[in-house]
Amino acid sequence: MTEPILLTPGPLTTSAATKSAMLTDWGSWDGAFNALTASVCRDLVDIVDGKDEHVCVPLQGSGTFAVEAALGTLVPRNAKVLVPDNGSYCKRIVRILGYLEREAVVLAHGEQEPANPARIEAALAADPSITHVAQVHCETGTGILNPLPEIAAIVARHGRGLVIDAMSSYGAIPIDARTIRFDALIAASGKCLEGVPGMGFIIARKSVLERASGNSRSLAMDLLDQWQYLQKTGQWRFTPPTHVLAALRTAIDQYRAQGGQPARLARYSENCAALVNGMRALGFKTFLPDALQAPIIVTFHAPPDPRYDFTDFYKRVRDKGFILYPGKLTAVDTFRVGCIGAIGPDTLKQVVAAVAATLKEMGVERVAAG
């Protein structure tokens, strides 16, 4: 049986070469694996042109592990963090800050509203005790792209620290550390680089990392300790995700050979256009207007037809070879379809055909409200 295509924001469908890279076993203290780690870290910094002032700290675990480690290590215990909130991953940052006993100030936005630079600037001007801003770049709960360059410029002008959750944007959406000033940028192996899940990483401003001693309340999540040990020995402190790193090395090689960030963005944009155009032709409505939609994952309103049931819909589409993603919104019934992974626009056209066939099987006639 052919494995289904993953239309999710990670894990995602990977290439045969990336899968094959995991067939080799590595010794975690071996010199060859240490060299592999070093090469991956260099390339991850280079992707955002950060080599002059930034370093990469890899960390075992999912992207959320890396977000928590960055906030716990690079944000001092007496800090106050502004979180522009327009989705579920922003809310997760607030929850993490609560566990870490860091004060959070939530700047609430609607789920269809991008983070507002003017409101962020007003909040920073009104409260000099705010030390940091934690900004999600692409909020994959909806697929919205927040205006990072404008926000970063405001944060820098006010002399505050910026922590960027770039989980679903790094590698596809342009981010240049030479013009976007940040203390930390966080991403993971199983997203737009098209590796497999299991490793997060933090691109940290070296000067900020070096001042972070004593901030972390966790040994495993202490990025300074992790980075210092890597610098001293070339090794991870604790058992690394060896196969995940090997797959990421191969995925980065493919990423560079295919044209890097511009080419990755172009392919994902083509995927997104093929998906949205096809679904709209079936009658579906997107949750976001095109101007706010990142080409990473698209949220669609669920059909109002009483014969529609997401669990049945999901299973039938899966039987046709495609795994969709449930909605992440509380107020509106939605589902999501990812545009990323080792797939092209022809795959998304096949998805649309599978959705059309499924609606017919279910007897769903009303696809959109109104």
pLDDT tens string 187-197 = 999 999 999 99
Strands 334-338 and 297-301, sheet pairing: antiparallel
| First and final C-alpha spacing in the chain | 41
- pLDDT category of residue 370 using cuts at 50, 70 and 90: low
What is the DSSP track for 32-47? HHHHHHHHHHHHHHHH
How far apart, in whole angstroms, are the C-alpha atoms of residue 82 and residue 293?
A: 24
**What is the pTM assigned to this prediction?**
0.96
The position carrying tokens 């007897």 is 363
Q: Which residue has the higher pLDDT, 327 or 128?
A: 128
**16-257, CATH topology level:** Aspartate Aminotransferase; domain 2 (3.40.640)
Task: Quick: pLDDT tens for 19-29.
Answer: 999 999 999 99
Determine phi and psi for 198, rounding to 5 degrees. Answer: 135, -10
How far apart, in whole angstroms, are the C-alpha atoms of residue 283 and residue 270?
A: 20
Region 194-202: mean pLDDT is 98
Q: Which residue ranges make up each domain of the chain?
A: 16-257, 260-362
CATH number at 260-362? 3.90.1150.10
Strand partners of residue 293: 144
The position carrying tokens 């990670």 is 10
Mean pLDDT of the chain, nearest integer: 96
Length of the chain: 370
